[in-house]
Structures are given as structure tokens and as C-alpha cells.
Amino acid sequence: MILEVDALRSGYGRIPILAGVTLSVAEGEFLGVLGHNGMGKTTLMNTLMGHLPATGGTVRFKGQDVTQQPAHTRALAGLGLVPQGRQIFPDLTVQENLRMGMAGSKTEDLELLDDILGLFPRLQRLLDRRGGALSGGEQQLLALARCLCAQPKLMLLDEPTEGIQPSILEEIVDTLKALRERGLSLVLVEQNLEFIAALSGRVLIIQKGMITGELSPQELKNPETVAEFVGMTTA
């Protein structure tokens, strides 16, 4: 297992949000976590990355207990987060955004940049464009590419489909599949069932800060089972 999360709790001030999340991700696995707005998906991602302190439970990454480690230490160990809303630098060019992604990594090399851009043909044509001038989908591709610049082993991907046109979603699916071929592990949190089903083997359901169910690949193909589980997650 590359990631083992046990009874993880966190929240904001005195407000508890994650109420004991337990999950694990195998090496090379793409795990989906499906849940509606406000169910704790972003809180989970930020706690896994170390941006938000855990108030209970443990996070083990590559066999090491990282629960008390700061985000930059986790990043150096190979954990990467693509945050909700992309959070690229709007006033920097695409190329400069990618350089910023490399700043935290051990090496800054042009071969790596070329290698990553090989996965993002659309970005190759936009290298001198300001981040803020890109479409939502292009910004999402940039956020993915920027995360890859730090050479993560496990990527945490927070609602990549939010506000993105369907045409570019397919491109994002294909890019993520190519990354799976290269051995990347992924935790994908989403409200978009179709997108999550296109990529994930197992899909967990998150509801009010707890994992309340799991859909197998077989169940994901059965519309009735899915409707039942997804119905459960409405507030």
C-alpha cells in the first residue's frame, strides 16, 4: 500500500469535519472518492497533504507515518496535490507556472519539463500565455502538469471537472490514463460520477466526513446500484 489512512480526523477550529476516515491506496491504484458539496472531500485532501492538521488518526505514506509532517516534507517524499479551483498563478506564464512547480523538487531540469509537456500537447502551444488568460480546462491541465513537475508518486486530485467543458474533460481522462501507465497512484475526489467511473477501479462514497460505502467496478457499471449509492449521499 502506498497510502494507508486510519481513523483520520480533522476540522476547522472546534468544528470537526472528518469523523474518522479509513482508506488505503495500492501502488499504482486510482482510487475514487465520490461525494456531494460540503461532504468533506477538500478537507480530506488538505489533511492528507498536511495543509490542515489531523486531530486524530494516522496517515502512512510509503510505509512512513507522516501524520505530523508538514506539507513540504510530504511533497519531497512524493505526495502531490492538485487543489480544487486549480490555484495556478494567473500573472505568470504557463512556462513560469511550471517552473514554480519544480521549485520544490530535488532537480530542476529541462528534460523533465520536456517529458511532462509531452503529455500535454495543448500546453506546448500555450507556453508564453498568462495563466489567467487560459480557459478553465487549460488551467486544469496546467495545474496537473505543474504538480507533475515535483515528480509525485501519489497525486491527490480535488474536483478537476468543476467548471470545465466536456471536450477538455476527455483530454484530462486520457492524460490521467497515460500517467497510470507510468505507475502514478491517484486519489481523485469528485461529484462527477461519470468522470470518476472512467478512471477509478474502486470508488468510495464520502458523506458528512465519513466513508459510508464502496462501489466496485462491476457495481459502477450498473446504473441502478449507482443511483442507490449516489442517492445516499444527498444531504
Ligand X SMILES: Nc1ncnc2c1ncn2[C@@H]1O[C@H](COP(=O)(O)OP(=O)(O)O)[C@@H](O)[C@H]1O
The residues of the shown chain that bind ligand X, judged by CB under 6 A, are 12, 15, 17, 35, 37-43
Report 32-61 residues binding Mg ion (CB under 5 A). Answer: 41-42
Q: Does the footprint of Mg ion cover residue 225 (CB under 5 A)?
A: no
| DSSP class per residue in 82-121 | E-TT----TTSBHHHHHHHHHHTSS---HHHHHHHHTT-H
Contact stretch for Mg ion (CB under 5 A) within 76-84, 113-121, 215-223, 224-232: 76-84
DSSP state of 130: B
Contact stretch for Mg ion (CB under 5 A) within 83-91, 139-147, 160-168, 215-223: 83-91
Q: How far is the CB of 202 from ligand X (least distance, A)?
A: 19
Q: Does the footprint of Mg ion cover residue 202 (CB under 5 A)?
A: no
Residue 53 CA, chain-centre distance (Å), reads 18
62: three-class secondary structure by DSSP: coil
Q: Is the dihedral of CA 219, 224, 230, 235 positive or negative?
A: negative
Strand 185-190, strand 30-34: pairing: parallel
Which residue lies nearest Mg ion, judged by its C-beta? Answer: 42
Residues touching Mg ion, count (CB under 5 A): 3
Identify what 74 binds: Mg ion, ligand X, none; CB under 5 to 8 Å per kind.
none
Residues that bind Mg ion (CB under 5 A): 41-42, 84
